[in-house]
Chain A
Amino acid sequence: MSDSPSHPETAPDTPPDRPEPSAVRTLLRLWPYVRPVRARLFTAVVVAIAASCVGLVIPLVLKWIVDGPVAGGDPGGVWLGALLLLGIGVAEAVLFGFRRWLVARPLAGVEARLRGDLFAHVQRLPVAFHDRWASGQLLSRGTTDLMMLRMFLAFPLTFLVVNGATIVVGMAVLLAQEWTLGLVLLLPVLPLIAVCSLFESRYARVARRAQDQAGDLTTVVEESVLGIRIIKGFGRHRSQARAFGEQSRQLRTTELAKARLLASIWAVIVILPELALGGALVLGVVQVADGALSAGTLVAFLTTALALRWPVESIGFLLAMCQEAATATRRYFEVIDTARESVGPDALPGAAPGGDPDGPADGLRFADVVFRFPDAAPDSPPVLDGIDLHVRSGETMALVGATGSGKTALTALVPRLHEVTAGRITLDGEDITALPRAELRSRVALAFEEPTLFSASVGENVLMGADGGAGEAELRRALEVAQAGFVDRLPDGTATEVGEQGLSLSGGQRQRLALARAVVGAPRFLVMDDPLSALDVHTEALVEEALRRVLKGTTALVVAHRPSTVLLADRVALLSGGRIAAVGTHQELLRENAEYAWLMSGADAPPGTGGPGPAELAKGTSR
């Protein structure tokens, strides 16, 4: 949509200038999902057309009754006619029910398959994709958009065909009955088509704007809930409410514009056919008066014409719904068309030059690794610019660097949550791109700075870290390492449900469970991003003591902000200016590296820097 770039909620991947494929082309993309149920769907369309045609027969029977038995005073004929009417009525009812029965389960199935595919795709899209997309945008595609598609398949699709066929058949019947009157009724068709197509494009624009504004409104709500502490802390709920009020008033304006459009098309659709009908009535009366037409024929003609009113009126909003369904399809495929993360391996084993001679116990190696966020401008300075680092097998390496120096980005490269821009990373001599991703990630365990728990029991959350091989004993040991004894005081112990649908735990508690998850599988490689930041001094000391035992024999990279965490490590690497500026033991670096000493104790500002800004500082000392 041309106006989309001004809306933050619009899919960030849509190039704003690309001309959009037509609604029909877009909707055709649903075919692979519809294919399995095509037989039932087509049968349903045929049944619906049959039902509609049966409906059209009713006026003819009425005509027959009026002109025949009634005029002729034949009681038997009246009975026959009424019975015929009843039979047709029953047939119509059964056919309509049959149509719905035919499509009910298959269409629910189509919706479910679309949703399942979206879910499977979304969780395999690159992490960089998720960094750009708000979760609400993905969710709305998985729920409301798919519901709209199911409705589209159930109604507008069928009824555009059915009502189109009904109009054609109806017009044929009318023309056959009395072609002059029929022509009068055909008069408004062309203007109607013109008005409808004009309406269609306008409506699509307004509808998309309304969708985007509704999305923006959702963002304000979401942020006001997530940032509630800040809003309350600064007493800003009034200004927040003002912003919300403004956005919702904008939405109201758009919705009213949409309503006006819809109302205009309705008015046109009501007036034009009705005028034609009036004309046909006057003309018909004249013909009946002249004796050119029987009264019964006029009744039948008008009944048929009136029966066609609904199909004609419905075309307007059926087209509107098709537009909305096309938008929903477009939104759905925006996500589906994004390439998944490859399953791996992406390189041949050993194909990388300089394959490692040290064999299986080489540890973790970064060789000239360059990294730039995929959405950053290609000429911007990379976050990591030539990282060379070797974590020996069994060694624990602390990674220290100023705020914003790229430590978290570096840890994300190891399990390939982000991809290196250049250079390579090896695990025991094997290039990580030469491993299937699942294999890579089963070798490397992670603990994140922001610990996420899923809606499952405490035990299940922790055991996610192991490949199904771990049991109660491993769980206990991991909880012990993480000092997560609080688990036993939870209502159901390790079976307590946590996450979005369960008990909410404090930041420190969640961090300890995330730590337990990282260590439960006794991984060969462990990557931890400031895993103890939310713990108090007492707990931190206890966790460190236990961790030290675990880390023996594990190759670990630990991002650290504090000397206490650094002390877990055998050696320390200093990340500065996108490079590893120094590697050594804590003591060595404290003595020899001014920046490190400054980072770890803050005691003396390193030479040559006047300002307190850590970023300026990092630049001053890195080269």
Chain B
Amino acid sequence: MTTESRPKETPEDGRTPAALAVPAPDPFDQDDLPTPPGATASLLRSLLAPMRARVGLVVLLLLLQQAAIQAGPLLVAYAIDQGVPAVREGRWGPLVAVGAGYLGCALAGGLLQYAFLTRSAVVSQDVLLDLRGRIFRHGQALSLDFHERYTSGRLISRATTDVESLRELLDEGLQELVTVLVSFVYIGGMLLWLDLGIGSVAVLSFVPLYLLIRLYQRRVGRVYARRSTAIARVIVKFTETVNGIRPVRAFRREEANDAEFAELNRTHERSNGDALLEMARYVVGSRLVANTAVAGMVLWGAWRVADGALALGVLAAAVLYVRRLYDPIDRMAMFLNAYQSAAASLEKIAGLLAQRPAVPEPETPVALPAPTGAGPGRTVEFAGVSFGYRTGGEVLPRFDLTIPAGQTVAVVGSTGAGKSTLAKLLARFYDPSAGQVLLDGVDLRTLATPDLRRGVVMVTQEAFLFSGTVAENIAIGRPDATRAEVEAAARAIGAHAFIAELPDGYDTDVRKRGGRISAGQRQLVGFARALLADPAVLILDEATSSLDIPGERAVQQALATVLRGRTAVVIAHRLSTVAIADRVLVMADGRIAEDGTPEELIAGTGEFAGLHRAWRESMAG
């Protein structure tokens, strides 16, 4: 009987390099970041390099294990050719030797197998740990510009499914490959040693097998590319539906979705079946070659035993070896599957890791001088700054602005006027394409991250909560803060009341039962976070959009105290924010259209005066 195959298949992600050849208008749309030539190989090298010694050990263990396992037939040959006559002559020595040898080989084979499996698991887990860490850290280091274009799902699948397919390769595939190669070499060598003729036939049979494997690899590669695209579409449709379940329901998309999903699912089913059929063809082909070779070798061997040119024991051993020789050829296909998909995944990962952060950490950071003013605030200066998004869109032409330490500046203007760009440049989410953004005269680009974040903190409209308790979420602002400090920050911003009403107060897990927190409440938590961080410069970008008016006012009252002595830039659609500002900037088309104290502007005839009037009227009802 022959082993058909190890029941392992590869995960559904075997995109071939060929898929990259199609010219794409924007690589981000295609989920294929440009991978520099050789990046995949050098990534793999750099992952394995630190464990060279351990990889060596693992390979050695496998070589020894195979030696122990493959010794069996040799012992059989010895037992038949030497042991039988010896016992007949009453000499038990050779037979005892065979028994001891078999016992030794069995124990060695098993123990070495154990050692090999555990050692290689350590190697592969360490490689994966390293790779996961690299992807994660790199993703975190990449600029917002990148994150805005590379959807979250893709980054997640890089760190999960793509790593997983490398793991398949390391755990299963490489072991398969080494086992296959080692046993080919061992058995081939053994056969040649036992009998040159039979050995030569065995070696010759490798040629058609090799060609067959190449053919399979080429054909299945194409199928995999199709299947990987198909499953990716299925995944996107699935996630999108689940994440948008409310509109799906409200707009009765269920049936239309069923139909669309069925189509995507069918495409995947077809390519999936194609891949399985490819495998079936390979199995037939390789088995035919193998069994023909076996028949040939037996024929020739039998002839020569009949001629007396070959010992019967040698033929028996040779036949046993030949049967083993072809056992692993199906595993070869398994390895190829694992390899194809891991190669595709590694390529995607390498493409991600090759992205250079647009906002890099400085190599030689400059320390921020001690604050010069009375309060903790610092001077902010935009010196000849210009900026344009890579995708086009909002553009800041040459821009100059100085905000003295301790000043609160409100920035107003319509969508697309460049308010948010201003804020993002100040928070160093982006770097300007020309000019400098300076904090107390120091270019933001030369500040180390801890210094930068003690200097500037930005609170945005979307207040994301991490899993964990409410207290932990606030403490993101300052991880070493005490509970009293966390509560003080929450109280200051008017968030204490609702937090106290949650089932476990500050210890309520935001992802668990009863941890339902409304959009406005999330924004309050975001604010408390920022207060706790205690920065020199605070940027608020639409940070109160989901609050009701009293909430907003509570925040503003808190800010009036908190911002004293601090530098603040407040961006708002709502003019109510202006109340706490020392200065108002009206932006239009990336330029400052009006600049002055609120009183000056309200009294004037500019756009702001008009807006303010309209706003007062709406508030009055």
Q: Do A and B form a real pair? A: yes
Q: A615 contacts B513, CB within 8 Å? A: no
**When the two chains form the complex, which single residue of A70, A225, A502 contacts B152, counting CB atoms closer than 8 Å?**
A225
Question: Is there a chain B Cβ closer than 8 Å to A116's Cβ?
Answer: yes
Q: Which of A53, A256, A602 has the most CB of B within 10 A?
A: A602
A262 to B75, CA, bound (A): 29
Q: A86 contacts B80, CB within 8 Å? A: no
Residue of A whose beta carbon sits closest to that of B448: A235
Question: Is there a chain A Cβ closer than 8 Å to B52's Cβ?
Answer: no
Q: A307 contacts B323, CB within 8 Å? A: yes
A517 to B246, CA, bound (A): 14
Q: Hey, what's the 0/1 contact readout for A101-122 against B, CB within 8 Å counting as 1?
A: 1011101110110011001101
A224 to B514, CA, bound (A): 23
CB contact list, B1-25 vs A, under 8 A: 1-9, 11-12
CB contact list, A518-561 vs B, under 8 A: 530, 533-541, 561
CB contact list, A16-71 vs B, under 8 A: 48, 51-56, 58, 62, 65-66, 69-70
Q: A70 contacts B312, CB within 8 Å? A: yes
A299 to B322, CA, bound (A): 14
CB contact list, A249-284 vs B, under 8 A: 249, 252, 255-256, 259-260, 262-264, 266-268, 270-271, 274-275, 277-279, 281-282, 284
Q: Hey, what's the 0/1 contact readout for A127-157 against B, CB within 8 Å counting as 1?
A: 1001100011011001110010011001110
CB contact list, A280-305 vs B, under 8 A: 281-282, 284-286, 288-289, 295, 298-299, 302-303
CB contact list, B427-482 vs A, under 8 A: 427, 429, 449-450, 452-453, 457-462, 464, 466-467, 476-477, 479
Known: A82-B295, A587-B621. A241 touches B136 (CB 8 A): yes
Question: Is there a chain B Cβ closer than 8 Å to A402's Cβ?
Answer: yes
**When the two chains form the complex, which single residue of A65, A236, A616 contacts B298, counting CB atoms closer than 8 Å?**
A65
Known: A285-B98, A530-B546, A563-B618. A221 touches B125 (CB 8 A): no
Q: Which residues of A contact B514 (CB under 8 A)?
A: 375-377, 380
Q: A277 contacts B136, CB within 8 Å? A: no
Q: Which residues of A contact B449 (CB under 8 A)?
A: 235, 237-238
Which one of A389-397, A445-453, A473-481 is at the interface? A445-453
A358 to B110, CA, bound (A): 85
Distance of A531 from chain B, by nearest CB (Å): 13
Q: B103 contacts A233, CB within 8 Å? A: no
A456 to B151, CA, bound (A): 16
Known: A229-B144, A376-B514. A564 touches B80 (CB 8 A): no
Question: Is there a chain A Cβ closer than 8 Å to B553's Cβ?
Answer: yes
Q: Which residues of A contact B546 (CB under 8 A)?
A: 403, 449, 530, 533, 561
Question: Is there a chain B Cβ closer than 8 Å to A206's Cβ?
Answer: no
Q: B518 contacts A537, CB within 8 Å? A: no
Question: Is there a chain B Cβ closer than 8 Å to A308's Cβ?
Answer: yes
Q: A536 contacts B240, CB within 8 Å? A: no
Q: A218 contacts B160, CB within 8 Å? A: yes
A236 to B453, CA, bound (A): 9
**When the two chains form the complex, which single residue of B4, B8, B240, B512 contacts A96, counting CB atoms closer than 8 Å?**
B4
A280 to B152, CA, bound (A): 61
Q: A601 contacts B4, CB within 8 Å? A: no
Q: A464 contacts B253, CB within 8 Å? A: yes
Q: A274 contacts B106, CB within 8 Å? A: yes
A222 to B239, CA, bound (A): 13
Q: B125 contacts A229, CB within 8 Å? A: no
Which one of A195-203, A346-354, A425-433, A504-512 is at the interface? A504-512
Q: Which residues of A contact B281 (CB under 8 A)?
A: 97
Q: Which residues of A contact B296 (CB under 8 A)?
A: 82
Distance of B615 from chain A, by nearest CB (Å): 7
Q: Which residues of A contact B413 (CB under 8 A)?
A: 536
**When the two chains form the complex, which single residue of A289, A540, A600 contacts B84, counting CB atoms closer than 8 Å?**
A289
Q: B242 contacts A122, CB within 8 Å? A: yes
Q: A271 contacts B106, CB within 8 Å? A: yes
**When the two chains form the complex, which single residue of B11, B272, B615, B618 contacts A144, counting CB atoms closer than 8 Å?**
B11
**When the two chains form the complex, which single residue of B295, B303, B496, B529 contacts A613, counting CB atoms closer than 8 Å?**
B496
Question: Is there a chain A Cβ closer than 8 Å to B551's Cβ?
Answer: yes
Q: How many residues of A are counted as interface, with CB atoms below 8 angstroms from the partner's CB atoms?
A: 204
Known: A138-B242, A295-B84, A614-B551. A154 touches B461 (CB 8 A): no
Q: A112 contacts B76, CB within 8 Å? A: no
Q: Which residues of B contact A233 (CB under 8 A)?
A: 427, 429, 453, 457-460
Question: Is there a chain B Cβ closer than 8 Å to A345's Cβ?
Answer: no
Q: A281 contacts B239, CB within 8 Å? A: no
Q: Which residues of A contact B342 (CB under 8 A)?
A: none
Q: Which residues of B contact A533 (CB under 8 A)?
A: 545-546
Q: A590 contacts B283, CB within 8 Å? A: no
Residue of B whose beta carbon sits closest to that of A73: B306
Q: Which residues of A contact B291 (CB under 8 A)?
A: 85-86, 88-90, 92-93
Q: B156 contacts A225, CB within 8 Å? A: yes
Distance of A142 from chain B, by nearest CB (Å): 5
Looking at chain A's contact residues, the main secondary structure is helix
Q: Which residues of B contact A83 (CB under 8 A)?
A: 295
Q: A96 contacts B287, CB within 8 Å? A: yes
Question: Is there a chain A Cβ closer than 8 Å to B50's Cβ?
Answer: no
Q: Which residues of B contact A275 (CB under 8 A)?
A: 102-103, 106
Q: B262 contacts A536, CB within 8 Å? A: no
Residue of B whose beta carbon sits closest to that of A564: B618
Known: A100-B283, A263-B118, A464-B253. A123 touches B245 (CB 8 A): yes
A163 to B621, CA, bound (A): 82
Q: Which residues of B contact A119 (CB under 8 A)?
A: 237-238, 241, 257-258, 261, 265
Q: A166 contacts B1, CB within 8 Å? A: yes
Q: Which residues of B contact A334 (CB under 8 A)?
A: none
A232 to B273, CA, bound (A): 45
Q: Which residues of B contact A501 (CB under 8 A)?
A: 29, 151, 236
**When the two chains form the complex, which single residue of B8, B72, B88, B292 contacts A289, counting CB atoms closer than 8 Å?**
B88
Q: A534 contacts B545, CB within 8 Å? A: yes
Q: Which residues of A contact B427 (CB under 8 A)?
A: 232-233
Residue of B whose beta carbon sits closest to that of A463: B251
Q: Which residues of B contact A449 (CB under 8 A)?
A: 519, 546
Distance of A278 from chain B, by nearest CB (Å): 3
A446 to B245, CA, bound (A): 13
Q: B248 contacts A229, CB within 8 Å? A: no
A402 to B551, CA, bound (A): 8
A62 to B320, CA, bound (A): 10
Question: Is there a chain B Cβ closer than 8 Å to A240's Cβ?
Answer: yes
Question: Is there a chain B Cβ closer than 8 Å to A248's Cβ?
Answer: yes
Q: Which residues of A contact B575 (CB under 8 A)?
A: 537
Q: Which residues of B contact A616 (CB under 8 A)?
A: 497
Q: B272 contacts A94, CB within 8 Å? A: no
Which one of B126-134, B344-352, B367-375 is at the interface? B126-134
Question: Is there a chain A Cβ closer than 8 Å to B197's Cβ?
Answer: no
Question: Is there a chain B Cβ closer than 8 Å to A226's Cβ?
Answer: yes
Residue of A whose beta carbon sits closest to that of B557: A612
Question: Is there a chain A Cβ closer than 8 Å to B205's Cβ?
Answer: no
Distance of B585 from chain A, by nearest CB (Å): 15
Q: B231 contacts A85, CB within 8 Å? A: no
A108 to B234, CA, bound (A): 14
Q: B415 contacts A539, CB within 8 Å? A: yes
A137 to B536, CA, bound (A): 41
Known: A97-B284, A155-B7, A614-B497. A62 touches B298 (CB 8 A): yes
Residue of A whose beta carbon sits closest to that of B555: A612
Residue of A whose beta carbon sits closest to that of B254: A123
Q: Hey, what's the 0/1 contact readout for B244-275 against A, CB within 8 Å counting as 1?
A: 11111111111001100110011011101100
Q: B280 contacts A101, CB within 8 Å? A: yes
Distance of B348 from chain A, by nearest CB (Å): 15
A105 to B270, CA, bound (A): 8
Report, nearest first, the 6 A-B pairs whose CB atoms are least far apart: A89-B291, A613-B497, A155-B7, A235-B453, A55-B1, A278-B102
Offer 13 A-B interface pairs, CB within 8 angstroms, sorted by A: A8-B512, A93-B291, A100-B280, A221-B136, A249-B129, A262-B117, A274-B72, A299-B316, A302-B76, A306-B324, A438-B252, A613-B494, A613-B498
For the complex with contacts A82-B295, A225-B147, 8 further pairs of A-B residues with Cβ separation under 8 Å are A89-B288, A138-B242, A151-B7, A232-B144, A241-B133, A278-B102, A403-B548, A541-B614
